[in-house]
Amino acid sequence: MEFPLIEKKWFKGQKSLAIVYPNLYYGGVYCLAPLIIYNLVNLKTNWACDRLFLDRLKDMKNYDLVGFTWQYELDLRYIKQILNKNKPRYTFAGGPCVIQNPKALEGLIDFFVTGDSEVILPKILEVYSYDKNSFFNAISKISGVYVPKKNKINSYYCDLDIFYPLYQPMPEKIDKNYVFGRCFILEIERGCPFSCKFCALKEQKPRYRSFEEIIEILNNGLLLNQRNKVVIYSASFTHPKRKQILEYLIEKNIRFSVPSIKVEVMDLEILKLIRKSQTSLTIAPECGEHLRIKLGKLARDEEFFKFAKMAKELDFKGIKLYFMVGLPEQNEDDLREMVGFLERFQEYFNNIYASIHPYVSKPNTFLLKEFDKKEIKKQINYLRRNLNIKMKISSVSTAEKIYKIANFP
């Protein structure tokens, strides 16, 4: 049983929408997109909304509108699997994979939301019609909606203070599969102020939710959901009021976790606040310093080592570091830099954990590159031979599948 749920009485003439997370429930429960749509649609008197998951599906032919949130490329197979079983009246899709490349779903999905659903979806619901031509003509005129053969791909983004999903249903009992436990999700920002050439967020300027709105969301959301833990969502954790946000959570005795940290904007004061609630940190050097700078990620090695020194002094217990292989211009010199970087990092932390990922070129980024399976395996083998730390290396064959989907056709 989930709590809290939005209870709605069905009546004749009411329309229904299902938002589908095309993977398992225990992961999808932490996805913000279905929560936004669930809250947004259920506020409307003449609409009702259900959240569906791969392992919690219903007959979608009973819904007037079915949406898919496409967060990860490999979920494409599940979207196809679901639609092969029953095709709803109308389907739409949104999410980061859609914004990067909706073409992979054309032919399966009727139309696409290519921006913030908070402002786009209400406009779609307003013009809903059982007449297909009338409906598609109407939504093709909405900014942030892409209807194949009707209009061109366009994006639309909004002020983050417009709306927030306060109802965040979760099971009353959870197990270890639920990585964040029972928590309240707090999104404080979208976009990113940095310009890393490999990142799909490069064209999305940072947008910050106001501090006053964040405090109101926390007060209302924690009470409504009866939670005492907050998971902060952000791409860069650069919110101008991040210090005050953490201070407020500490003052209210609310546990929290923060996302991956940008060392170039982190200081001792904020690290002290983070340490009050968590014992480990995540950072992303990505590669050796020379290549890192070329790729637009301007944090130098010394900034990472300064960060490590501060973290050690504050008694953090461990650090997870993200790296990539298979980058353009990446060669053995860069790999040697990575090895040297990690060896020096161990002077500050014995408990470090490197997560190594094959670089997957994404559409509409500055850094387009063919996937070179042979070279990637060669670079991984070099790191295995030369590093004596805990490592998790992502599957090369899986990365290749992601590349093919992301760059379709």
Q: How far apart, in whole angstroms, are the C-alpha atoms of residue 352 and residue 345?
A: 8
The answer to whether residues 242 and 192 touch, using CB atoms and an 8 Å cutoff, is: no
Q: Phi-psi category of 144—alpha, beta or left, where left has phi over 0 and alpha has psi -120 to 50?
A: left
Backbone angles phi, psi at 120, to 5 degrees: -80, -45
CATH of 277-409, one of 3.40.50.300, 3.30.70.20, 3.30.450.40, 3.30.750.200: 3.30.750.200
pLDDT number for residue 86:
84
Residue 283, pLDDT above cutoff 70:
yes
The C-alpha atoms of residue 189 and residue 316 are separated, in whole angstroms, by 26
Q: Which pLDDT band, with edges at 50, 70 and 90, does 362 fall under?
A: confident
Q: What is the DSSP letter of 115?
A: B
Residue 124 pLDDT > 60 = yes
> Sign (positive/negative) of CA torsion 190, 195, 197, 198?
negative
pLDDT at residue 356, rounded to an integer: 98
Peptide bond into 122 cis (omega under 30): no
pLDDT at 409: 82
**pLDDT tens by residue, 183-216:** 999 999 999 999 888 887 655 789 999 999 999 9
Confidence band, pLDDT 50/70/90 cuts, at residue 315: very high
What pLDDT digit, counting tens, does each position of 155-181 carry?
999 999 999 999 999 998 999 999 999
Mean pLDDT in residue range 73-101: 95
Exposure string of 358-369, with b = 16+ CB inside 10 Å and e = fewer, is bbbbbeebebeb
CB atoms within 10 A of CB 27: 16
**Per-residue pLDDT tens digits for 72-81:** 999 999 999 9
Please list the residue range(s) of the chain that carry CATH number 3.30.750.200: 277-409
Encode pLDDT of 382-400 as tens digits.
Answer: 999 999 999 999 999 999 9
| Alpha-helical segments (H) within 86-176 | 96-100, 117-126, 132-139
**What does the pLDDT look like over 51-65, one tens digit per residue?**
999 999 999 999 999
Percent of the chain with pLDDT strictly greater than 70: 99
Domain with CATH 3.40.50 in the chain: 2-146
DSSP per-residue string spanning 151-181: S----B---GGG-------EESS--TTSTT-
Q: What is the pLDDT of residue 201?
A: 67
Task: Give the CATH fold of the 2-146 domain.
Answer: Rossmann fold (3.40.50)
- Cis amide leading into 169 (omega within 30): no
Give the predicted TM-score (pTM) of the model. 0.96
Q: Which of 57, 51, 59, 46 is nearest to 14 (CA)?
A: 46
Q: What is the Cα–Cα distance from 113 to 107, expressed in whole angstroms?
A: 15
Give the mean pLDDT of the chain. Answer: 95
> Given this model, what pLDDT does residue 35 score?
99
pLDDT tens digit sequence for 227-273: 999 999 999 999 999 999 999 999 999 999 999 999 999 999 999 99
Task: Using pLDDT thresholds of 50, 70 and 90, give the confidence band for residue 365.
Answer: confident
Length of the chain: 409
